Amino acid sequence: MVDMGTGLYSAVAILMAIAEREKSQQGQYLDMTLYDCAVSLMHPHIPNYLYSGEVPVATGNAHPNISPYDTFRTKTVDIFVGAGNNRAFAKMCVELGSQELITDARFANNIDRVTNRDDLKAEIESSLMKIDGSEIADRLANAGLAAGAIHDTAQVVDHAHTKHREMVIEDGWYKMTGTPIKLSRTPGSVRHKPPKFGEHTEEILREFDFADEEIEKLLSSHTILERRQS
């Protein structure tokens, strides 16, 4: 995530520098590091520490500042549910048939739900364990909550919405995720496949005026390679 985040931050930095150059007519050096980007991604843990002085601990899938915002067991599959305010929490309770939780003093407001997150998770799962996970996840999503069944990688790849959003590309031997950036006028696409190992070796050498005899000697002596060595 730090590698990917640094790439995304760097792309934004380049765009910011280009936009600033339009005003100043000057370029500038961008100093981007993995460390800095890793620190910036530690949200909300660093702000929590700076304001409270308490060192955060691992919370698994649960959000440290919001509850319920976690994974839950059901009768069939695990699901994720996020209810970030009182209104969303009330909607969730209604869908689960647990309206009594809405007026429970332990869960009156988000701070109460965070303080009593273990009790709340037990209450929610006591209802969910009687219900099919995929069915209740769809109901919660239709009610406006952030909710969904938890899928493994194969299920994500095969999911109808993944296909609808063209997020998996297969072109012959090349298989990869699609682009999440959807531009209306200039949409992204695979124009060139990444080269296979040594695919352009001879072509590049000829561009530098190597004769066929020289290339053959380099290949036969294994000075250059056209395929990976075992």
Active site residues per annotation: 3
Structure tokens at 62: 């649960």
Q: What is the largest CA-CA distance in the chain?
A: 85
CA distance linking residue 106 with residue 54, whole number of Å: 23
| Reduced 3-state DSSP string for the chain | CHHHHHHHHHHHHHHHHHHHHHHHCCCCCCCCCHHHHHHHCCCCHHHHHHHHCCCCCCCCCCCCCCCCEEEECCCCCCEEEECCCHHHHHHHHHHHCCHHHCCCHHHCCHHHHHHCHHHHHHHHHHHHCCCCHHHHHHHHHHCCCEEEECCCHHHHHHCHHHHHCCCEEEECCEEEECCCCCCCCCCCCCCCCCCCCCCCHHHHHHHCCCCHHHHHHHHHCCCCCCCCCC
Cβ atoms 9, 37 nearer than 8 A: yes
